[in-house]
Amino acid sequence: NAGVTQTPKFQVLKTGQSMTLQCAQDMNHEYMSWYRQDPGMGLRLIHYSVGAGITDQGEVPNGYNVSRSTTEDFPLRLLSAAPSQTSVYFCASSRKGLAGGSYTDTQYFGPGTRLTVL
């Protein structure tokens, strides 16, 4: 299994450009999510999906769109890039399960995309 893959690894955009960050997983996980990580702030949830055809907003959704047409793929679209979107973007997938008597959902992360918006 490749796990969670993300492309590209690095990207530089100019303000106003649009682009799509790709994410795919081959573990048949129902849940997929996008996070951004900024220095000193931890990972913040952008959008998530609990299954094909179902998406919802996370903590910081503005400026981003997602779709989930298949279980495997969950692309993140930047509509009009802004310097404030300079960050490291991580895609993650998970499947709910039981462990130790409690629900748990280990998240598996892709290697990240480092995006700079000039």
Partner 1 sequence: RKEVEQDPGPFNVPEGATVAFNCTYSNSASQSFFWYRQDCRKEPKLLMSVYSSGNEDGRFTAQLNRASQYISLLIRDSKLSDSATYLCVVHNTGGFKTIFGAGTRLFVKA
Binding stretches for partner 1 (CB under 8 A): 31, 33, 35, 40-45, 48, 50, 56, 90, 99-112
Minimum CB distance to partner 1 smaller for 17 or for 67: 67
Q: How far is the CB of 110 from partner 1 (least distance, A)?
A: 6
Task: Output phi, psi for 15, to 5 deg.
Answer: -55, 130
With a CB cutoff of 8 Å and minimum separation 6, the contacts of 100 are: none
Q: How far is the CB of 20 from partner 1 (least distance, A)?
A: 20
Minimum CB distance to partner 1 smaller for 67 or for 107: 107
- Asked whether 53 and 66 are in contact (CB, 8 A), the reply is no
Minimum CB distance to partner 1 smaller for 43 or for 117: 43
Minimum CB distance to partner 1 smaller for 14 or for 42: 42
CA distance 65 to 79: 7
Q: How far is the CB of 15 from partner 1 (least distance, A)?
A: 25
CA distance 9 to 39: 18
Torsion sign, CA atoms 21, 18, 35, 72: negative
Q: How far is the CB of 46 from partner 1 (least distance, A)?
A: 12
Q: Which two tokens stand for residue 89?
A: 């973007």
